[in-house]
Copies of this chain bind each other. A is one copy, B any other.
Amino acid sequence: MNGAHISLVSLGVADIERSVRFYEALGWVRSGTGDESVAFLQGGNIALGLIGRAALAEDANVDDSAAGFSAVTLAVNLPSEADVDEHFQKALAAGAAGRKPPQKVFWGGYSGYFADPDGHLWEVAHNPFFPLDDTGAIRLPGETE
């Protein structure tokens, strides 16, 4: 295995249990590993870590400076526009804030954005040009090298 992969995405949050409930409502499955300071959930090929924001900053040895636009978005690609609508509604019902209702977008797909309880941005998209396997993993077309 080389290092070109992502095993785990960690999100700094204000209330771990609130965030666990949110992600469980979206289908993520909590693992028995973890403790009161961190929760881990599995979804497809990815583990999601939920940890206090200050603790995450400390772990990474960076300042917990005021949040701005994180310039990171996490995308859930789904097989159809109807699947996108359904997942987006499920997120709103679980307490997400809508940022962009699912809509046809300039690149030929269908996409919306919501923010989780801490403002972390998720895109929910159907991209007819990106094939998905049955775990939701994209296999990019036309690798150039």
Contact = CB atoms under 8 A, between A and B. Distances in A.
Interface in A70-95: 70-79, 83, 86-87, 90
B71 A12 contact: yes
A118 B69 CA distance: 13
Given A3-B86, A24-B145, 12 more contacts: A3-B124, A4-B29, A9-B9, A10-B72, A10-B73, A13-B71, A31-B140, A32-B144, A33-B140, A45-B46, A57-B69, A70-B70
Interface of A: 1-13, 23-24, 26-33, 40-49, 53, 56-57, 59-79, 83, 86-87, 90, 99-100, 111, 113, 115, 118, 120-121, 123-124, 129-130, 132, 134-145
